[in-house]
Amino acid sequence: MGKAHNLRHDGQMTFQPPTNLTIVNHPLVLHKLTLMRDKNTPTAVFRQLLREISLLLAYEVCRDLPMTTRHIETPVAPMEAPIIMGKKLVIVSILRAGNGLLEGMLDLLPSARVGHIGLYRDPKTLQPVEYYFKVPDDIASRTTIVVDPMLATGNSTAVALDRLKEKGAKNLRLCTLLAAPEGIERFHQAHPDVPIFTAAVDEKLNEHGYIVPGLGDAGDRMFGTK
């Protein structure tokens, strides 16, 4: 895990990264991400890799969860054993690509509650349009991890977080696979209280709002729709 430095794949830094940005640049994550970026990687392999990476990302996103202890008895002796405090987490998937990250997270956090937010990006304006919103009623009292693999313009992710805060969500974290500097800046301006976790920060967005070099359309690549 690293704090943001040396961000671009060519080693240059073009923006001031927020201090609450964490780049999960573990060798396993970066290796799997490279395989995912390759345009020749087939759909089934892409999906499997995403599932594996999301598990590794979840490990970091959960690193600072508050702990308490529980009295148990091992076969050898009683002990006060560490256990995660509070209610089960909520994972909110930004449809549809968020579902790829969601599956791996649920492998690690099987009891988590799950929410879904449906947003699509208007291809002309690049602005988000909401078509679905369903999250647990008691989200205000739970830690919430929002999963959205591509933080591109940051517009739709920022809007999704607006909606979650309207519902009372307070303790929020954002987990992405790839981020563009533009998306990080936009998101951080809107939600400076929300820590961002990502496997990599790429160079820029292109004129179509795609992350460069990126991996293409994450939804299309995981579902084989193009």
Residues that bind ligand URA (CB under 6 A): 97, 150, 152, 209-211, 214, 217-219
- The catalytic position among 10, 74, 125, 137 is 125
221 is catalytic: no
122 is catalytic: no
Residues 98 and 140 sit within 8 Å (Cβ to Cβ): no
217 is catalytic: yes
CB of 26 to ligand URA, least distance (A): 22
Closest CA to 218 of 102, 92, 115, 105: 102
Give the C-alpha separation, 3 to 26, whole Å: 12
- The catalytic position among 38, 220, 221, 225 is 220
Estimate the crossing angle of helix 27-37 against helix 43-61, to 10 degrees. Answer: 150
The verdict on whether omega for the bond into residue 82 sits within 30 degrees of 0, i.e. cis, is no
19 is catalytic: no
Structure tokens at 211: 């992350």
Nearest residue (CB) to ligand URA, 38 versus 193: 38
- The catalytic position among 8, 37, 96, 121 is 121
Nearest residue (CB) to ligand URA, 58 versus 205: 205
Residues serving a catalytic function are: 121, 125, 217, 220
